[in-house]
Every structure is written in C-alpha cells, then in structure tokens.
Structure 1
Amino acid sequence: VWLFLSRQQDKINRLAELKEQANNLGLRTINATCPLVSKVHRRVSRLNKINYDVVVIGHKGHPEVEGTCGHASGSVHVVSSPEEVQRLQVKDPNRVGYVTQTTLSVDDTAKMLTALRGQFPNISEPSRTDICFATSNRQAAVRELSESVDLILVVGSKNSSNSNRLREVAQKKHTPAYLIDHAEEIDPNWLHNTKRIGITAGASAPEYLVTELVSWLLENYEVSTVQKMDGVDETICFQLPPI
C-alpha cells in the first residue's frame, strides 16, 4: 500500500503526524518530492529555527507553495508581486530570508528579488537560485525560439506552473503561444497563415507527447522541414527515493 503526500491544506507541518498515522496503519511511505523542492523545504525550516521570517515567492494556492509553507514552524509570507512585497509586515527587517517556487518565470522572479532587496537590504538569500534548471533552460530556449517562429505550441497541463510560464515567455516576446495537452486540442485557426511553428514542453510532459504532436502536424499539414533546436544538455540525474 502506498501513501502519497502531495498537499498540506492547513499550512502547518503535519508530515511527522502523517507518517506516524501511516505507520500505525501498517502503510509504507515513500517521499518522492523533487530534491530541488526538498532543498527549499529544508531552508524554510532552518530559517524559522533561527527566528527569521520567511518570504515565499510564488503563486498562492499552488500545491508546491502550500507544501513549502507546510514546512514552516514560524512566520511565513507568500508574495506574488512587488506590490505585495511593499505591504509585508515582519518581526525584524534584519531577520528575513526568502525562497522561491521552483517553477517561476525567471524574469518575473528577478523583479520580485529587486523589490525584496530594496525593502530588506539584509535579506538572507539562498546560495543558488531555487528555480529548477529544467524550468530556466526551457524559458531561455523559448525566448530564443520566439525570435524565429510565427507561433509556439507548449505541450503541458493547464495547471502546470512551468508550462504556463513558457506560454507567457513567448507571449511577452509578442509571439502567439498556446498551451495544449495533446495535438487534438489544436484550433486550426491558430495555424492559418502560419509558416513556422515552434514546439516546446513543460518539464514534466512526457517526450512521447511531443513526438505525437510532430507526427500529427506532419500528417495533417504540409510540413517541409522539422528542425531540432540546439539547447542545453541536461545531465543532472537524481537518485530515486528508497523503496
């Protein structure tokens, strides 16, 4: 029997309690949290233990953000805009640290950090960015891709934060972009008078969905060339959780 801990509704750390309940029921628990997210969780716990207010840069209500807040044992604040940073009330402005949701827009996060550093000059910062490397690499690729195509199709779930950010990155470059789960969701009107189509995918979208999309376009439209864009080789591998 498997127990998946995905969302903590009451924003308190119930992990130990849930594990104990699972053990009492004879259940086996597996912590399959992404290591990059776990790093954020540990930083939240460390900051609260030394009586720091923690600022979480992220989208309120997103499961990852709620999970991060669930690891807080002290003050934690979620902010989504520079304006919200200006309204922050903390115990001591010299004892503030921040973490970020791992799937945010790199550009939008930079604006948030500028606001935080202006509001709290002594803010404690992570040793390296919390944004997932797969997220930042894809955003950089979409920026470049937007310069040479007429439209971008993003393969990913509607509730996927990093997939939505890819769509937004393209749109900020004034390139039409649409988020789809599969090829059947394509509106033919999108492709009217379109000569060059760019395709990207969210970090968790299976590769076969991209392959199927390319095949669908080849079957239904006169495609002369399929070119794979050069990108960053992602060689990082995470160890599977012990089972």
Structure 2
Amino acid sequence: MTKPPLTLYLAAPRGFCAGVDRAIKIVEMALEKWGAPVYVRHEIVHNKFVVDGLRDNGAVFVSTLEDCPDDRPVIFSAHGVPKSVPSAAQARNMVYVDATCPLVSKVHIEAQRHHDNGLQMVMIGHAGHPETLGTMGQLPEGEVLLVETPDDVATLDVRDPEKLAYVTQTTLSVDDTAEVVAALQARFPAIVGPHKEDICYATTNRQEAVKAMAPKCDAMLVVGAPNSSNSKRLVEVGARAGCAYAQLVQRATDIDWRALEGITSMGITAGASAPEVLIDEVIDAFEARYDVTRTLVETARENVEFKVPRVLREPA
C-alpha cells in the first residue's frame, strides 16, 4: 500500500537550550565526581525522559532540602531556588551545586538591584511555577507582587506607584507578556523595566520559528512535558499563528493519529527541555506512516554555551 505524501516542517531552533544542557551536564558530572546518590531538589529540567535517565544513573529527585541527607551533594534545578534554600544548605554544611540557568540568575540579580534601590517589584509569571517561586524568593515576603494577565494589573495594590520595577519569568509567551507590560506601563508610567528583556533568547527563538512554520501546517506537534512552561507556550503560539491543530506530546506514543487523518503538512518543534532523541522518535513515527518530505524552517542559529560551576571542573 502506498503511503500518503506529507510535508514535514521542522522548526529550528528547537529542543535543548544552553541552560538545560548545562543543568543536565551538572548532574552527570556530579555523579561522576561524587558517585551515586546525588540529590536534586526539584526536577532538574521539566522532562520525564531526561529525569528518568538521570534517576537510573543514581540521581535522587526530591521536593525539599529536608528530604536530603547532610552527607550527600545536592543540586538545585535549572529553574532557580529561593535564597533561603542555599542558606539552609550552608547551615547544614552540605555540598551543593547551583544549576540555575544563568539567564534566570540574571533576573534574580536584577530583582535584588531594584530592591536595593528602594523599588517594589512586580513579577510577570505563572503562580506556583518553580522559576516564579525562586525569583520571588530572592526578596523578603511582600516585596514581589505577582501578575499573570493584564486584568491582574488593574487590581494590583502597590506601596508607591512612583517606586516600582518589573521582571518576568524567562519562559513566557513574548506576545502575552507584551500585553501585561503595556498594562503595567499604562497604570504605572514610572515603572522601571529590565535593561534587556527577561524572556530568554531560547524561548523567543523557538516561538519565532513556530510563528514562521505554523501558517504552512495543517497540524503541529510540540514535543515537551505538560509541566514545561515554554513547551505549553509553543502550542499557544502555534494556534495563534494560524495552525488549526496544535498539540503537546511527550513521546511518539502520545500522537493522536485519528485527529491527523487527511493532513498533507505537519509541523514539529520541541520545548527547551526536550532532547533530540524524542524529536527523532516522533519524526520516525511519521516516516513509518507517510511518504515524508522534510523541510527546515530556520529563523535563528544558536551558539550559546554556559560553563558548569568550577567545583565540578576541579578534581575530586
């Protein structure tokens, strides 16, 4: 039986970013240096496949520092942690390695600088997301107000409208964030923004590639985890950019083939914590069912690399 033809559009860039790459490398190098078990506070990155692989090699994932013994190394996830966490680790004389993405650390430094200058902070982010909790936890209770939507801005109760600054979670939708920023600037004209946008280069690049790809596609799949903020944003961006069917899948086994009946063009991308092996698995699944013509949709090239902490580069 002949396979139906399918144009497979592959977004570039897609998948791993430099911060995720570094965080995974940190866990691997820690296991190499200190042996198993190495404890990791929170999932190192939001991807089950990655976390399961590291767990198989001896990483133990825990929710809180209290779940870690004093005598084993602990790693803080790429999303960042409140200031109280490294302080508690120091108080217990623990060996710890901070795998916070340097672009998230930049937001932490920014928030601290504004606080030191007497400004109250507004954070644009998703309630309960570990990155949001980590950033808000850089400053004393009540010093960071959280908003998610333009409607939240209308009800903000600030200390002094003349002394405000804002930061954002690094994995948000560029377009949605612009709407919230506009609402903040309209209500608080004196509000101070970041020198350079907080949304990270990888989030922006992946969204731009999806915007370029989505109008060409009958359907689009984003390879990523349901708890991955940047992956969920890619689905939203694809739908908004004109793709009638945009869905998140963790693996090829999650593909709903019935929903894709009759398509002639398909877009594939992946969130920043999805490894290429899972993307290849999805591509293989399409090639098994269709006569595929691959087309790359490249909107940027990335050559960013972040160094791992010095403690891991030194001999044990």
User: TM-score range, shorter-chain basis?
Assistant: over 0.9
Whole-Å separation in 1 of the counterparts to 2:112 and 2:242: 41
Letter in 2 for 1:94: E
User: Taking CA–CA contacts closer than 8 Å with sequence separation of 6 or more, which of the two structures ends up with the larger relative contact order?
Assistant: 2
Matched, 1:56 2:123: yes
Q: 2:222 aligns to what SS in structure 1?
A: strand
Whole-Å separation in 1 of the counterparts to 2:219 and 2:235: 10
Query: Which ranges of structure 2 fall in alignment gaps of 5 or more residues?
Result: 1-71
* Partner in structure 1 of residue 257 of structure 2: 188
* Partner in structure 2 of residue 163 of structure 1: 231
Q: 2:217 aligns to what SS in structure 1?
A: coil
* Partner in structure 2 of residue 14 of structure 1: 84
The 8 Å contact of residues 77 and 98 in structure 2, kept in 1 or not, is answered as no
Whole-Å separation in 2 of the counterparts to 1:239 and 1:22: 27
The 8 Å contact of residues 119 and 163 in structure 2, kept in 1 or not, is answered as yes
The 8 Å contact of residues 170 and 200 in structure 2, kept in 1 or not, is answered as yes
The 8 Å contact of residues 7 and 67 in structure 1, kept in 2 or not, is answered as no
Q: May I ask how many residue pairs the two structures share in their alignment?
A: 237
Matched, 1:226 2:294: yes
Letter in 2 for 1:40: V
2:113 to 22, 46, 53: 46
Shift of 1:6: 4.4
The 8 Å contact of residues 151 and 198 in structure 1, kept in 2 or not, is answered as yes
2:270 to 201, 205, 218: 201
Q: TM-score, normalised by structure 1?
A: 0.92
The 8 Å contact of residues 7 and 63 in structure 1, kept in 2 or not, is answered as no
Q: 2:291 aligns to what SS in structure 1?
A: coil
Q: What are the within-5 Å matches in structure 2 for residues 50-89 of structure 1? A: 50-73=117-140, 75-89=143-157
The 8 Å contact of residues 225 and 231 in structure 2, kept in 1 or not, is answered as yes
Letter in 2 for 1:111: E
Whole-Å separation in 1 of the counterparts to 2:241 and 2:271: 18
Q: 2:268 aligns to what SS in structure 1?
A: strand
Cα offsets for 1:127-169 (capped at 9, x unmatched): 1000011111111111110111100000000000000000001
Give the direction of change, closer, same or farther, for the CA distance of 1:151–1:232 in structure 2 (3 Å limit). Answer: same
Whole-Å separation in 1 of the counterparts to 2:276 and 2:78: 26
Shift of 1:230: 2.1
Give 1 or 2: higher strand fraction: 2
1:134 to 202, 206, 212: 202
Identity %: 41
Query: Which ranges of structure 1 fall in alignment gaps of 5 or more residues?
Result: none
* Partner in structure 2 of residue 179 of structure 1: 248
The 8 Å contact of residues 103 and 162 in structure 1, kept in 2 or not, is answered as yes
* Partner in structure 1 of residue 6 of structure 2: none
RMSD of aligned residue pairs (Cα, Å):
1.8
Whole-Å separation in 2 of the counterparts to 1:84 and 1:6: 29
Give the direction of change, closer, same or farther, for the CA distance of 1:7–1:66 in structure 2 (3 Å limit). Answer: farther
1:2 to 58, 73, 76: 73
Cα offsets for 1:103-134 (capped at 9, x unmatched): 00000000011001111111111110000111
* Partner in structure 2 of residue 119 of structure 1: 187
Q: TM-score, normalised by structure 2?
A: 0.72
Shift of 1:16: 4.5
Cα offsets for 1:51-82 (capped at 9, x unmatched): 21100001111110001011013611000011
Letter in 2 for 1:160: S
The 8 Å contact of residues 22 and 29 in structure 1, kept in 2 or not, is answered as no
